[in-house]
Amino acid sequence: MSAVRPPAEFDAYAPGYDAGMADPLKRLLGKTADAFLDHKVDWLLRHVAPTGRLLDFGCGTGGFLRALQRRGVRCELVGCDVAGGMIEEGRRQWSADAAPALHTVGGGPLPFRDAEFDVVTASGVLHHVPADEHADVAQEIVRVLKPGGTVVVFDHNPASPVTRWFVRRAPIDANAVLLPASRCTALLRRAGALTSRPDYILFFPPRLRWLWRVEPLLARVPLGGQYAVLATKPWR
């Protein structure tokens, strides 16, 4: 595995990173990026009971980890990203007594032992990984997962015209290549994980979060703004 996109591409956005919320249309849908992250955490907590050690692969400034902490998830939280500037910005945003371990990673294998984590998440990162590196990334994510552990991948759904429109507007997504949920599922299976059918999420923006309660009924409708793929590592 060489790397995700060149780190400098993301480091340029690190100071005051707001996950694209400078876009006035995106702000109209949700005041802050935290609302979108909270929705993913809601999904995670409905399907997984995180325990032990959790790695957020491609953590950026640590927004998803902060969302987990806000919800009282009692795991040892760890994050890694290729963009050192993003990691440094993430460290500045945490209070010293509550900060997780945030690692800048380079090319090659992740700097973690085999079977080191109980849960691995990847939130909105795979569309930034070049297609010829997808298989290596999936292998590494599964390698560092304990047998019986869980991988959860959230990513943009290319079947959603609204998602494609927002991605075209976002400067940080200038080089993004969206991958379908079926491709994500296939990558994890080839890496040795057992996957379930993907769920589609974010049918309704945070401004209409009172409608989120009906989203589980729409989980198999492939038009949500994002998808969630859950996989487990077999015991043998």
Q: Does domain 7-232 have CATH number 3.20.20.70?
A: no
Q: Is 121 left (phi over 0), alpha (psi -120 to 50) or beta?
A: beta
CB atoms inside a 10 Å sphere around CB 88: 16
Alpha helices of 48-160 — where are they, by DSSP H? Answer: 63-70, 84-93, 134-143
For the chain, the structural domain boundaries read 7-232
Nearest to 209 by CA among 32, 21, 73: 32
pLDDT digits (tens, 9 = 90+) for 152-174: 999 999 999 999 988 888 887 88
Q: Which residue has the tokens 């487990």?
A: 232
pLDDT of res. 174: 80
List, for the chain, all residue ranges whose pLDDT scores fall below the cut of 50.
1-3, 20-21, 24, 27-28
pLDDT of res. 27: 47
Contact 181, 187 (CB under 8 A): no
Contact 57, 31 (CB under 8 A): no
Tokens representing residue 207 in the block: 């401004």
Contact 201, 227 (CB under 8 A): yes
CA distance 62 to 79: 7
CA distance 12 to 26: 20
Cβ partners under 8 Å of residue 150, min gap 6: 48, 118, 119, 120, 230, 231, 232, 233
pTM of this structure: 0.88
Tokens representing residue 7 in the block: 């780190």
pLDDT of res. 118: 98
pLDDT digits (tens, 9 = 90+) for 56-66: 999 999 999 99
pLDDT of res. 21: 44
Contact 104, 89 (CB under 8 A): no
Q: Which residue has the tokens 């409708």?
A: 221
pLDDT of res. 97: 66
